[in-house]
Amino acid sequence: MQAGGRVERMCPFGTCDGTGWIVGDDNVASSCQCRERRAAHARSRGIDSLIPTKYRGVSFDRPPVSSMDRTVVGVARDFVEALPERLSEGRGLWLMGDVGTGKTTLAMLISKSALEGGNTVAIYSLPRLLSRIRRTYDAEAGEQGYMEFFDRLCSVDLLHLDDLGAEKSSDWVLEQLYSIVNERYESERSMLVTTNLDQAELEGQIGARTVSRLIEMCGDPIPLFGDDQRYRVA
């Protein structure tokens, strides 16, 4: 809706007039819960939260998800159904399995559900995230620097890291991953991760202390095995 050329914001909860404040009968104003949500969205600007085109139509009721292992899909569905509680508790999910078994598809479905629920989400493959961090080192005046990007990355409701362990290991990579995971661990912010590596292999790739925090946040890895679905002919 527009008034005088200005777009008026609506309260997503229907409890205020869009200003973020509720004025009581005694003329005392109290903060509406939409203010916190708007502040979170403002803090998340400058991070990648878009669902790739390939995954925008994913659903529990359609292939390939409907054709996946029922137990694994059930875990993902339970997570989505309890999403507000999971995010408020800082609980996440760890999907592990072979190439083409549906890890990324399920993770994108969860992230899509979180975005549709009005939550802030950052979505990165590990190589792309590390490339994005490197670019902050060359930021010019007015551009997003390292600390600003790091703070926004760690403040979103859900951080989705795809293909964890895919990057060649180095001291710098280990430091970046530990800093991000530890910050979200300490602030009780949820993470959603996918990896082709089992726990022991991932510890060798990104470090035992990082994996330990992921397990405490996300629980044990949820295994997906089977044939590469990408090579199946419909």
Summarize pLDDT for 28-53 with one digit per residue, the tens.
Answer: 567 677 766 655 554 545 455 688 88
SS (H, E, C) the chain: CEECCEECCCCCCCCCCCCCEEECCCCCEEECHHHHHHHHHHHCCCCCCCCCHHHCCCCCCCCCHHHCCHHHHHHHHHHHHCHHHHHHHCCCEEEEECCCCCHHHHHHHHHHHHHHCCCCEEEEEHHHHHHHHHHHCCCCCCCCCHHHHHHHHHHCCEEEEECCCCCCCCHHHHHHHHHHHHHHHHCCCEEEEEECCCHHHHHHHHCHHHHHHHHHHHCCCEEECCCCHHHCCC
Confidence of residue 2 (pLDDT cuts 50, 70, 90): very low
- 204 within some domain: yes
- 43 within some domain: no
Q: Is 103 in the same domain as 32?
A: no
Q: Is 184 in the same domain as 102?
A: yes
- 141 within some domain: yes
- 217 within some domain: yes
* CATH classification of the domain holding 223: 3.40.50.300
Confidence of residue 233 (pLDDT cuts 50, 70, 90): very low
pTM: 0.77
Q: Is 28 in the same domain as 78?
A: no
In terms of residue numbers, what domain contains 116? 48-231
The bridge status of strand 158-162 relative to strand 121-125 is parallel
